[in-house]
Amino acid sequence: MPTTIRRVRQHKIVIGVDGCRGGWVFIRLNLNDGSVVAGIESEFRAILEGAGAQAQMTMVDMPIGLVDRGRRFCEGKARKLLKPLRHASVFSSPRRPMLDFETYEEANAWGKAQGDTGGGGLSKQAWMITPKIREIDQIITPAHQCYIGEGHPEIAFWRLNGGAPCIHPKRKKEGQAERKALLAQNGISEPDIHYEALRTKVGAKVALDDVYDACALALTARARLEGNAIHLTDGARDARGLTMEIWG
């Protein structure tokens, strides 16, 4: 059965969530006083029922809504916005039947057998996050999508950067400095402190770019709540009735 998500409105809270080696890293931003809390959970459900229970908006960097054939419009649109520098950060999600395969080789072979019009093969990057896609797919219903949405960090930084993609890759020092400055300009001034605290707690299970991405998604949640977010979608719904869309 779908998870029951308790929502309390006395605080104006938004949350950004990014998948990481240790599970899910989250940034909880209080819009009333600007305070930030960082954390990590092994399961996405634990965030929604814990730190996210009071959130008015939660954005997560993971596909929500999957096509059976072809490609998702929102991913193609995101790549166009991020060209020519960061478009490779948006890779094509697995088609829904691929979630049933046990190995990458099986899923990739099935995709290739569908031909280009059916969506083609599957990248290894997409296969590696398939367990997390399954995890979210088992929880999210169409009703949840009014306050839980799919975001993409590079689209978030694109918006924060005035409609231009970041110049440097996110794992390079120059890219980290670029994104840190954009976060600071938009109300999250000390993301490294939160990273160091999480690193002390869980070690290499979280990376600096995971924290920066979660921060960007929290700002996306704020922007969506305030009506200022980028919304990429053609309105299509998948077999489960989930709208396929990316917020930034």
CATH of the domain at 201: 3.30.420
Q: Give me the domain span that covers residue 94.
A: 73-135
> Rounded to whole angstroms, how far apart are CA atoms 13 and 26?
13
Q: Do residues 85 and 116 both lie within one domain?
A: yes
Q: Do residues 202 and 97 both lie within one domain?
A: no
Task: Report pLDDT for 10.
Answer: 55
Residue 60 counted as domain residue: yes
Between vectors from CA 69 to CA 65 and to CA 72, what angle results, nearest 5°?
45
| Pair 145, 242: CB distance under 8 Å | yes
> Rounded to whole angstroms, how far apart are CA atoms 215 and 220?
9
> Rounded to whole angstroms, how far apart are CA atoms 74 and 233?
5
Q: Do residues 55 and 178 both lie within one domain?
A: yes
Q: Do residues 112 and 160 both lie within one domain?
A: no
Q: pTM for this structure? A: 0.94
Residue 182 counted as domain residue: yes
Q: Do residues 116 and 53 both lie within one domain?
A: no
Q: Do residues 60 and 108 both lie within one domain?
A: no
SS3 for 114? Answer: coil
Residue 50 counted as domain residue: yes
Residue 244 counted as domain residue: no
Low-confidence ranges of the chain (pLDDT < 70): 1-11
Characterize the bridge pairing of strands 148-150 and 55-61.
Answer: parallel
- The last residue of one of the domains, among 135, 154, 182, is 135
Residue 228 counted as domain residue: yes
Task: Report pLDDT for 147.
Answer: 97
Task: Indicate the number of domains in the chain.
Answer: 2
Which structure tokens are listed for 97? 């039947």
